[in-house]
Structure 1
Amino acid sequence: MVMERISMNLVIDVLKLHYQDQCSNRGVAKRLGISRPTVQKYLDLTKEAGIDQWPVPEEEDGGVGRLRKILFPEPTVSSSGAPLPEWSEVEKELNARKKSGVTRHLLWQEYRMTHPDGLGYSQFCAHFAEYRKKRDLRMHVPHAPGEELYVDYSGPKVWIYPVGKDPFQASIFVAVMGLSAYTFIYATPDMKTRSWIRAHRETFEYLGGVPQAVIPDCTKTAVLVVHRYDPTLNRTYREMSAHYTFEIAPARPLSPRDKVSVESGVLSAQRALLAPIREVKFVSLPDLNRTLRERCDAFNQTPFQKRPDSRTVVFEAEDRPALGALPSEPFETEEWIVCRVHPDYHISVDRFLYSVPCRLVREQVDVRLTATTLEIFYREERVASHLRTTDPRKRFSTFKDHMPPNHRHHLDQSQEGYLERAGKSGPDVVRFIEALFRRKQYPAYAYRTCQGILSLLKEYPADRVNAACALGLQMGTGSYKALQGILKHEMDRKALTPETKPSVPDHENVRGPAYYGGKTESTPLSQV
């Protein structure tokens, strides 16, 4: 086998001088500064390969390429004569996600079972590494000014020690501009959607503008369903991008080079910004963020090690002029979540329960959360809206319209339900039913009478029922039959007023107060 230490250019020069210029071996050796045996050796090798002229005949692979393959073929056997592995298959096995646990050592063991005299493990790894080097081609993609912002969370967290409270760990958000590597870091209490959105807002304020595209990692706060070609984005994040007019371009799964800028920025932030403050005890997030802001400014102004200027200089000169303008109003922090409607036609949000139309039981709904409101959507249509509650004594927020008919009927079978229905008929109906409940030892015993009173509204106008209740209160009656009699005999039409007194006949059998020795003014019974 011919080793590739032979210079390909030297072989080509020998062929040109010998076949094209008709030089002798001595002349070729003299002109190229090599020995005559070497010239003859090269000519013999090319003749064995079937090449005895110049230029080499052009074929599918090209003449020179064909010559190289002939002179320096890829090895297919080991030094012991055993066949080499098919390296493309080895790479395929290692990259197959479903075959977890497959290692180079395992593949080498399987290879040696078939070829006991084949490569040792170290040579197996060396040959495979060489194969991957030839295939692992990299392309430098230049960044346009103001085009891309890479965002991610740093791995290490920072402890916060609030006074009088339990300590907690703050997450560190990192943003890096693609062209200038201008870096911003911000501490958040967690990695939830609200914190993710807040960190973006702070980043855009720090940059003084909005890039054309933001490239996040496939975190759940950015990407709900990971897909190489069509990922499903977090709805709140998508709405924020529309508000600030930037595109979301998530890094492809299992493609670390898509986010090399932010990975490098995260590593730089850990070393230059976080490591020096690892022993500092912070008492609050604002305290930590003030320190991070100061260190971030200094970091961006530090000159590059391998190129001129600094991150700040490049950013101000190239990135900042190309950034989009900030909107007049910042994005209102909101959150979208997906809930399943429970059998009791409520959804659970932060341990509080909110009603949904009963027809949507067991359906999946989208819920939009703000600081004060909660909106429920089904197939892009809003079906319910509630004020958010934080009172642990009022865990349920329920609208009667969301109930099935039998549940509404049951709800009406209560003191509050009857009074609510009575209020639609008139104030005297309410007073009559309130008096009815006061007379009963147990309110439930008054329910049937209440049903009867309210059923009178189906036969008589509400104003007559209200007047009948007023008359019934004056008469001191509280029964359904009394009200029915008042309405039947139209007594409500001539209901007594407080000034009305019954007429007294004037004849000789009527005695005056002087006859009884009483006073001219009667004494109320309650004062006797």
Structure 2
Amino acid sequence: MFDPFSQQGAGELNVLKRHLQSTVLTLLDRNTSQREIHRLTGVDRKTIRRYQALRAGAEANSPGEVTTGSVSADGQIPPPRPPAFGTSEATVTSSLARSACEAHRTWIEEQVRLKRNAQAIYQDLVDQFGFPSSYQSVKRFVRRLRHADPEQFDRLEFLPGEEAQVDYGEGAPTVDPKSGRYRRPRLFVMTLRYSRRSFRRVVWKSSQQVWAQLHEEAFRYFGGVPSYVVLDNLKEGVLKPDLYEPQLNPIYSAMLAHYAVVADPARVADPNRKGCVENAIQHTQGTALAGRRFETLEAQNEFLRHWEENWASKRIHGSTRRQVEAMFQEEKPHLRPLPVAPFRIFTEVVRTVCDDTTVRVDNSYYAARPAPIGSQVVVRIYTTTIEIRDRHTRALLRVHSRMAHPGSVVLPTSERPFNPSRQTAVLLASAERIGPQTRALCQQVFDTEGRPSRCGALSGWAGSTRRGWSSRPARTPSTTASTATSTCVRPSSGCSNRRSSRLE
């Protein structure tokens, strides 16, 4: 029998303490796997394999001992079969042990194809088949199956001008003008799938507006528009990921509609769908930007433009074995022409229609009819104009010029309601006692403004009449009318909290 403490055994093995040698041999006798022995004892698996090989050789050369396993014709136990070439340590197990999972190989392979993890497979093995072994044996068996049968991908071919892919990465360290320290900006890359020609730009911060603007710059850089764009599910582009009905960012959706481009968001956690732009980002980071620093963002963008035109576009692509620039010249005529007018960047907000049928935007008020009072509408804020749209259909309701002064009101006279108070009859009767011209003037004010409080002096006149207008010195009708006119037409802020008013 093999004696690990003999001089011959000690000369061939790493020197272990006696209790570790005994533990290793005992576990080997129990057909414990090398991984488990390493976990229990901390002994390196190479040392464990040498102990196992020497023990097996010693037992094979001992004619008087009987061991477990197949016996040859002369009574000797053959030496253990060496592992297959290229087998990793994780798959090297004892020659005397056979995985208990082999009896269920077909069923386990089917579960692996269904993307089930080892824990779920182990639980079903115990419940359905009374599996006697441990979870670790199932875990190792599943790992070997996955390594032996990796996922297969189809080779996709694209037509010229058919697809572009976009994504963000990290640029080279650049001096931040706010802090004066180096930090990495965001690297935007759009790659045409057919020719692999790319547009690259670094920005400090991304937003809905920046994301749309970078797309527009890329389209104009290529001189045309592809049929559709593949993007990741980042918030600048996709608000709610969905395989069939993804909800796009409204600004991004409007930009794509302006250029007649279709968005094709990749599935969640599926970077292989846009592997072309992923490789372009890695190529940019590893070749163009590795080890470089820039003082300004403009300097890095200028370097990226120079590198693309002089190096990246002139290279021979590894997959197609053709020059990128030559393929781009083939693809460029297939890109759809750019629209004459560029896309107007806007900011979109949701506002509630007030009780006077206006919405408040930047401390100014704009008419929102035909939107009902209390309903919510979408307001698109451009540089010089304001668009009010239906929240659900995005139908255009109103267009206004953007007011420069806070507190301005854009509400046509025809949309101002006639809303007399309960004292209208009393005030008009008082004006009648003053004179017919005063009565006619006040009636005109009521018909136009609709709110008697805009002419607050009338209440004062009515009070004077009740206190005894006849006791005061008589005035001619012309003098009375002139006084009433100068009083009623002065601006009043009692009815409205707005500073000024504009009629359309």
Same fold (TM over 0.5): yes
Match of 2:323 among 283, 304, 310: 310
Deviations 1:334-358 (A, max 9, x none): 34x3515277777676x65655649
Flag the 1:203–1:380 CA change in 2: closer, same or farther, 3 A.
closer
Render the CA deviation track for 1:369-396: whole Å, top value 9, x for unaligned.
Answer: 21122211124444444444676xx367
Picking from 449, 452, 457, the partner of 2:457 is 449
DSSP 3-state at the match of 1:187: strand
1:127 maps to which of 140, 145, 149: 145
Relative to structure 2, which stretch is displaced further, 169-178 or 338-347?
A: 338-347
Given that 2:191 and 2:197 are in contact with CA atoms closer than 8 Å, whether structure 1 keeps it comes out as: yes
Question: How big is the alpha-carbon RMSD for the aligned residues of Structure 1 and Structure 2?
Answer: 4.7
The separation in 2 between residues aligned to 1:325 and 1:319, in whole angstroms, is 13
Task: Give the Cα–Cα distance (whole angstroms) in 2 for the partners of residues 225 and 127 of structure 1.
Answer: 36
Separation in 2, partners of 1:242, 1:446: 47
Structure 1 counterpart of 2:263: 248
1:271 is displaced (CA, Å) by 1.9
Write the mapping of 1:3-22 to structure 2, written as runs, cut at 5 A: none
Q: Write out aligned runs for 1:98-177 (5 A).
A: 104=118, 108=122, 111=125, 114-117=130-133, 119-130=137-148, 133=150, 136-155=151-170, 159-162=174-177, 170-177=185-192
Structure 2: gaps of 5 or more residues: 1-97, 423-436, 446-451, 463-475, 489-504
Secondary structure of the 1:301 match is: coil
* Equivalent residue number for residue 83 of structure 1: 104
Larger Rg: 1
Q: How does 1:437-476 map to 2 (within 5 A)?
A: 448-450=456-458, 471-472=479-480
Contact 1:472 1:478 in 2 (8 A): no
User: What is the TM-score normalised by the length of structure 1?
Assistant: 0.53
Query: SS state of the match for residue 324, structure 1?
Result: coil
Cα distance in 1 between the residues matched to 2:386 and 2:196? 40
Q: Percent same amino acid among aligned pairs?
A: 23
Deviates more, 1:183-192 or 1:80-89: 80-89
The answer for the alignment partner of 2:235 in structure 1 is: 220
What SS does the aligned partner of 1:249 have? strand
Q: Distance in 2 between matches of 1:375 and 1:332?
A: 12
Instruction: Check conservation: 1:346, 1:354, Cα contact below 8 A.
Output: yes
Q: Aligned-pair distance for 1:86?
A: 3.4
Q: Quote the Cα distance in structure 2 between the aligned partners of 1:389 and 1:111.
A: 72
Match of 1:281 in 2: 295
Cα distance between partner residues in 1 of 2:147 and 2:414: 66
CA contact (8 A) 1:357 1:401 kept: no
Aligned to 1:377: 389
289 and 389 in structure 1: CA distance in 2 versus 1, 3 angstrom threshold: farther
Distance change >3 Å, CA 321–CA 92, structure 1 → 2: same
The answer to whether the 8 Å contact 2:386/2:400 transfers is yes
What amino acid is the match of 1:127? L
Distance in 2, matches of 1:273 and 1:353, equals 49
Following the alignment from structure 2 to structure 1, what is the Cα–Cα distance between the partners of residues 486 and 323? 90
TM-score normalised to the size of structure 2? Answer: 0.55
Task: Select 2:350's aligned residue among 339, 344, 356.
Answer: 339
User: Residues of 1 paired with 2:251 and 2:368: CA distance?
Assistant: 24
- The answer to whether the Cα contact below 8 Å between 2:170 and 2:185 also exists between their aligned partners in 1 is no
Tell me by how many angstroms 1:177 deviates.
1.0
Q: Displacement, 1:445?
A: 11
Paired AA for residue 216 in structure 2:
R
Structure 2 CA distance for aligned equivalents of residues 380 and 123 of structure 1: 56
Is the 2:112–2:142 Cα contact (8 Å) retained in structure 1?
Answer: no
Which among 221, 240, 246 is matched to residue 231 of structure 1? 246
8 Å contact from structure 2 (residues 101, 138) kept in 1:
no
Q: Quickly say closer, same or farther: Cα 1:205–1:445, change in 2 above 3 A.
A: closer
- What is the one-letter code of the residue matched to 1:365? V
Between stretches 153-162 and 197-206, larger displacement belongs to: 153-162
In structure 2, relative to structure 1, the CA distance for the partners of 1:408 and 1:383 (3 Å cut) is farther
Deviations 1:439-466 (A, max 9, x none): xxxxx99964335779xxxxxxxxxxxx
Q: Deviations over 1:94-135 (max 9, x none)?
A: 4xxxxxxxx5457547756852326353223112443x53xx
Aligned position for 1:268? 283
Ranges in structure 1 where 5+ consecutive residues have no aligned partner: 1-76, 95-102, 411-424, 434-443, 455-467, 481-528
The one-letter code of the counterpart of 2:144 is A
* Secondary structure in 2 matching 1:162: coil
Amino acid at match of 1:310: Q
CA-CA distance at 1:319 after TM superposition: 1.3
One-letter identity of the residue aligned with 1:116: P
Structure 1 residues 93 and 402: alpha-carbon distance in aligned structure 2, compared to 1, 3 A threshold: farther
Paired residues of 2:171 and 2:185 also in contact (CA < 8 A): no
Q: Please tell me whether residue 184 in structure 1 is matched to residue 199 in structure 2.
A: yes
